[in-house]
Amino acid sequence: MNKQEFFHRIKGQVIVSCQALPGEPLYVEEKSIMYLMARAGKMAGAPAIRTSSIRDVVAIKEETGLPVIGLVKVQYPGFESYITPTMKEVDELAKAGSDVIALDCTLRKRGDGKTVNEFVAEVREKYPDAILMADISTYDEGVNAWKLGMDIVGTTMSGYTKYSPQIDGPDYELVRRLSETVDIPVIGEGKIHYPDQAVKVLEAGAHAIVVGGAITRPLEIANRFMNAVKASQAGGKQ
């Protein structure tokens, strides 16, 4: 699938993120079960799946036949960035058949001494035809990623870096500003908890959206209900 075909496929749609990391309830050491979440996403009409880890990329592609946005989350010493931070992960994702490769394009410290600009240039030189998605947290990072030649910019990291807005919900303003500035697709992602928020992110100018925790992380979903009920009960006792 080429770049324009992918862009057309996802326009105005909900991409479902299916991820389970070690220590989370749906992470099974022996075998990935994220392909089952991806199956549900496909049945609901998702045009693509976003996932982390090589085994999940392979299993989800085999199960669904949908295009996959692949990434690898790994924390190396000296790195503040952790989404596909080195060429090792890029190579693994390319070999696994990721249709899109997501990179951390925040301007945080890298343990290898390279700038994000240098790293992206190396990736693009090695994989000139790859569709690359930039995970960013601020407007300046998004514009920088666009100027670097990234194909997609996602608001994934807003609220997850110390210097980005710390809000419990989507960064609508970031989506709006980037959509008005860059000429590549802006994908709204991060803290989209409810369907009405998803609609608002698209209305803010997003080409598409990614929803993960609100769909595929049962512990997060259960906690949201539990906390709401506890807060209501606490308020009633006052």
Q: Decide if pLDDT at 49 tops 80.
A: yes
Q: What amino acid is encoded at 71 in this protein?
A: L
Q: What CA–CA distance (Å, rounded) separates 74 from 86?
A: 9
Task: Check: CB of residue 35 under 8 Å from CB of residue 233.
Answer: no
Q: What CA–CA distance (Å, rounded) separates 17 from 1?
A: 20
- Annotate 67-85 with b (16+ C-beta within 10 A) or e (fewer): bbbbbbebeeeebbbebbb
Q: What CA–CA distance (Å, rounded) separates 131 from 154?
A: 13
- For every residue of the chain, DSSP letters joined together read --HHHHHHHHTT-EEEEE---TTSTT--SSS--HHHHHHHHHHHT-S-EEEESHHHHHHHHHHH---EEEE-B---TT-S--BS-SHHHHHHHHHHT-SEEEEE-S----TTS--HHHHHHHHHHH-TT-EEEEE-SSHHHHHHHHHTT-SEEE-TTTTTSTTS---SS--HHHHHHHHHH-SSPEEEES---SHHHHHHHHHTT-SEEEE-HHHH-HHHHHHHHHHHHHHHHHHHT-
The 10s digit of each residue's pLDDT in 59-97 is 999 999 999 999 999 999 999 999 999 999 999 999 999
**Number of domains the chain contains:** 1
Q: pLDDT tier at 236 (50, 70, 90 boundaries)?
A: low
Q: Which domain holds residue 98?
A: 3-236
Task: Tell me what pLDDT residue 237 has.
Answer: 61
The 10s digit of each residue's pLDDT in 160-182 is 999 999 999 999 999 999 999 99
Nearest to 51 by CA among 19, 4, 80: 19
Q: pLDDT tier at 39 (50, 70, 90 boundaries)?
A: very high
The 10s digit of each residue's pLDDT in 180-228 is 999 999 999 999 999 999 999 999 999 999 999 999 999 999 999 999 9
Hey, how many other C-beta atoms are within 10 angstroms of the C-beta on 101?
25
Q: What is the CATH number of the domain that holds 22?
A: 3.20.20.70
Nearest to 15 by CA among 69, 80, 79: 69
Hey, how many other C-beta atoms are within 10 angstroms of the C-beta on 102?
28
